[in-house]
Amino acid sequence: NKLEGNLKEKIEKQYGSFDKFKNEFIRKANLLVGSGYTFLVIDTDKNLKILNMSNQETPYIYNMIPILAIDLWEHAYYLDYQSNRALYIKNFFQIIDFEKVNNLYEKNI
């Protein structure tokens, strides 16, 4: 499903467009070395941030609320993508349920 509602407006305001947000999320995820996650979070100022966190680190310890995450541990992609983590990250956007992400955003702003 597609991005709609207040989250769409916030992404467009902060990133200029959904495509620019998507490209930045993919860029950041590709920068993470080793195991961890890339999160879209609501920060303490109610802005969106894209964060990389290693291992089991969580945005909650920084008082940020995750509303979207991609698992970048090898077990998440290796069977389907082998060492092509970049393709796994790119394809992640085909399976995101943006209705749920928007609901999480709405609940936490």
Whether residue 73 has pLDDT greater than 80: yes
Q: Phi then psi for 17, rounded to 5 degrees?
A: -170, 165
Whether residue 1 has pLDDT greater than 80: no
Whether residue 29 has pLDDT greater than 90: yes
- Mean pLDDT to the nearest integer, 78-92: 91
Whether residue 53 has pLDDT greater than 90: yes
The strands making up 36-42's β-sheet, listed across from edge to edge, are 48-54, 36-42, 65-71
Entry field: residues in the chain: 109
CB-neighbour burial class of residue 1 (10 A; exposed 0-12, middle 13-18, buried 19+): exposed
pTM of the model: 0.92
